[in-house]
């Protein structure tokens, strides 16, 4: 076998565990010269771990990664780079306080090649002495990509590079990637967007539960097959509790959002949320759901659009404004919500003291009663007395929810409240969400785990690429339907 017959990149039997968690069990990927291969997988399939191993940022427990037939294991990102694999990520790896030229020097990038690719990518007029921090995100991604291309990599790995890029730049990126393949190089393309994958890629490699479950040639109508492969045996209709059909509520909504745009990723979101309703939000990572929740909670100011609470237009400049309007957020990252070295009680009672009118003596009896009620209702395990950081993850999450139960709930914004917590706690959270709604609260519920939608919600909106593209009733919300919707495959026929 001559060297040129070897695949450009060949990864076989790659496995990686983090403690008891087996992130990868048997990941495979081959890439031949002249090929563009899509790497696909649902949330938690092990995609990001696999990418880290391919690029040398992580060492596999088992298996091997060969680049250009060289059996040497990829030991570090620098080694991977030397052997010809260069990655470009959604978050540019540039140093903000240096100018473009200095960032090039850091990794010995040939300036002429860089200039050439900038021009190809419609950024020919970019100044090399511009500071990275002054450039818009789209330009940063282009700089990062041009820098990678200038190193003339054999394998280019593009990870969600086109998310939130304007259409004309997406076209340029796809053209350049295709050119790479035509020149006898290879491209690994990671994206949630079938439209781009069918335009660009030759094959797709699908990961599920840490293993490569199949490789398919890209052809028209391949989407259904890929979605099926991503879901696999996870469709277990028998186990799922039947969702109850609830009529769409009528009357004035508690919360109405119209054509909301929030930088950088949310382009156009509209929704109506009624008292007594749990509205799910389905979205792949980074489709604009973070921006939606941040804007509703007063953390970010929308670029345009309208938020109405009980029929009155609202402009939130601070979370305090949102709380006053009854909108309370449980954020995705617990670390952002907790005072780690303070007590459970103080954590739950904090909103009581927020307004200057409440800076005086603490109302101990009132506070104790409200906190005890919240702890009781959530069954928070407070055996670990004292600092909140001594609680388990599930109990910490309950504290962040309990804070708003004690405060009083009108409109609850739950952003992925079950991420990274144990199954028992998860099962306590769904009925609680339901109960809150039955008592008149309105709940907006984003989850990264699709099977939670029929368990907790009445219906769900789907956000794709910054827009609300679909609305699914809980009774129809099987995982396949939701997955297809999350990948933007169902069009906007059902959108409200």
Partner 1 sequence: MSDIHPKPAEHVAPLVRLGRFLKDNPVIPLIGFLFALIGILELMRPGIVSVFWAGNLIKFAIPLAMLAAAQVLTMLTGGIDLSVGIVATCSAFVTATLTPLIGPAPAMLVAMGTGVIVGLVNGFGVAIARVHPLIMTLGTGLIATGCLQVYQRFVISTGTDIPAVLEWLGTGRSWNLPNGLFLFIPFAGFVLWLMRYTGFGRLLFALGSNEKAAKLSGVRSWQVLMALYVLSGLIAALTGLLYLGMIRAPSLSLAVPLMLPSVAAAVIGGTSIFGGRGSFAGAMVGALILRVIDTMLTLARMPEGARIALFGLIILAVTALYVRLSETR
Of 279 and 325, the one with the shorter C-beta distance to partner 1 is 325
C-alpha to C-alpha distance for 376 and 398, rounded to whole angstroms: 11
- Provide, rounded to whole angstroms, the least separation between the CB of residue 15 and partner 1: 23
Of 244 and 358, the one with the shorter C-beta distance to partner 1 is 358
Note the residues at the interface with partner 1 (CB under 8 A). 297, 299, 318-320, 323-324, 329, 331, 335-342, 346, 349-356, 358-362, 364, 381, 383-384, 390, 392-395, 403, 421-422, 424-425
In three-state secondary structure terms, 442 is: strand
Of 208 and 410, the one with the shorter C-beta distance to partner 1 is 410
C-alpha to C-alpha distance for 194 and 204, rounded to whole angstroms: 11
- Provide, rounded to whole angstroms, the least separation between the CB of residue 295 and partner 1: 14
> Which residues on neighbouring strands pair with residue 281, listed in sequence order?
446, 461
- Provide, rounded to whole angstroms, the least separation between the CB of residue 314 and partner 1: 15
- Provide, rounded to whole angstroms, the least separation between the CB of residue 326 and partner 1: 12
Q: How far, CA to CA in Å, does 50 sit from each of 41, 54, 446?
A: 11, 6, 26
- Provide, rounded to whole angstroms, the least separation between the CB of residue 471 and partner 1: 29
- Provide, rounded to whole angstroms, the least separation between the CB of residue 343 and partner 1: 10
Quick one: 237 exposed, middle or buried, by C-beta within 10 A (0-12, 13-18, 19+)?
A: exposed
C-alpha to C-alpha distance for 74 and 53, rounded to whole angstroms: 8
**For strand 255-262 and strand 304-309, is the pairing parallel, antiparallel, or unpaired?**
antiparallel
* Angle made by CA atoms 66, 7, 175, in degrees to the nearest 5: 110
Of 238 and 356, the one with the shorter C-beta distance to partner 1 is 356
- Provide, rounded to whole angstroms, the least separation between the CB of residue 359 and partner 1: 4
Residue 426 · residue 401 · CB < 8 Å: no
- Provide, rounded to whole angstroms, the least separation between the CB of residue 288 and partner 1: 20
Of 299 and 430, the one with the shorter C-beta distance to partner 1 is 299
- Provide, rounded to whole angstroms, the least separation between the CB of residue 289 and partner 1: 17
Rg of the Cα atoms in the chain: 25
Of 12 and 343, the one with the shorter C-beta distance to partner 1 is 343
Of 2 and 359, the one with the shorter C-beta distance to partner 1 is 359
- Pick from 166, 173, 179, 115: which is nearest to 136 by CA? 166
Of 62 and 133, the one with the shorter C-beta distance to partner 1 is 133
| DSSP string for residues in 78-123 | HHHHHTTEEEE-SS----TTSBHHHHHHHTT--HHHHHHHHHHTT-
Contacts of 319 (CB under 8 A, 6+ apart): 297, 298, 299, 329
Of 43 and 343, the one with the shorter C-beta distance to partner 1 is 343
Residue 185 · residue 33 · CB < 8 Å: yes
């Amino acid at each position: 076998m001559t060297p040129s017959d070897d695949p450009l990149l060949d990864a076989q039997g790659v496995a990686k565990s983090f403690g008891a968690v087996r992130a990868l069990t048997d990941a495979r990927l081959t890439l031949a010269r002249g090929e563009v291969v899509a790497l696909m997988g649902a949330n938690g399939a092990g995609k990001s771990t696999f990418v880290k191993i391919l690029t040398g940022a992580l060492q596999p427990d088992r298996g091997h990664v060969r680049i250009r037939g060289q059996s040497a294991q990829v030991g570090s990102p620098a080694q991977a780079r030397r052997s010809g694999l260069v990655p470009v990520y959604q978050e540019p790896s540039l140093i903000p306080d240096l100018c473009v030229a200095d960032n090039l020097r850091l990794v010995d990038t040939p300036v002429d090649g860089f200039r050439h690719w900038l021009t190809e990518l419609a950024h020919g007029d970019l100044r090399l002495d511009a500071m990275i921090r002054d450039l818009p995100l789209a330009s940063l991604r282009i700089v990062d990509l041009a820098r990678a291309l200038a190193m003339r990599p054999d394998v280019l790995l593009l990870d969600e590079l086109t998310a939130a890029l304007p259409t004309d730049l997406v076209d340029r990126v796809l053209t350049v990637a295709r050119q790479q393949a035509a020149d006898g190089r290879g491209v690994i393309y990671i994206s949630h967007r079938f439209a781009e994958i069918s335009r660009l890629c030759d094959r797709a490699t699908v990961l599920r539960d840490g293993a490569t479950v199949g490789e398919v040639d890209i052809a028209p109508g391949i989407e259904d097959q890929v979605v099926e492969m991503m879901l696999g045996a996870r469709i277990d209709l028998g186990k799922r509790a039947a969702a109850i059909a609830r009529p769409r509520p009528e009357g004035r909504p508690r919360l109405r959002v119209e054509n909301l745009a929030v930088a950088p990723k949310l382009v156009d979101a509209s929704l109506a949320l009624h008292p007594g309703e749990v509205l799910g939000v389905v979205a792949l990572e980074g489709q604009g759901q973070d921006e939606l929740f941040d804007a509703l909670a007063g953390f970010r100011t929308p670029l345009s659009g309208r938020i109405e609470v009980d029929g009155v237009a609202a402009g939130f400049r601070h979370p305090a404004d949102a709380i006053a309007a009854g909108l309370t957020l449980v954020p995705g990252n617990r670390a952002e919500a907790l005072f780690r070295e303070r007590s459970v009680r103080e954590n739950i009672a904090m909103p009581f003291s927020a307004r200057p009118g409440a800076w005086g003596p603490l109302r101990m009896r009132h506070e104790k009663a409200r906190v005890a009620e919240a702890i009781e209702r959530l069954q928070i395990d407070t055996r670990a007395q004292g600092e909140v950081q001594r609680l388990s993850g599930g109990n910490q999450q309950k504290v962040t929810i309990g804070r708003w139960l004690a405060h009083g709930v009108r409109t609850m914004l739950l952003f992925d409240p079950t991420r990274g917590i144990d199954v028992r706690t998860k099962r306590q959270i769904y009925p609680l969400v339901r109960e809150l709604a039955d008592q008149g609260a309105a709940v907006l519920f984003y989850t990264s785990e699709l099977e939670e939608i029929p368990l907790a919600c009445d219906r769900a909106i789907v956000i794709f690429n910054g827009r609300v593209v679909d609305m699914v009733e809980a009774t129809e919300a099987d995982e396949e339907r939701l997955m297809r919707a999350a990948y933007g495959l169902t069009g906007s026929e059902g959108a409200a």
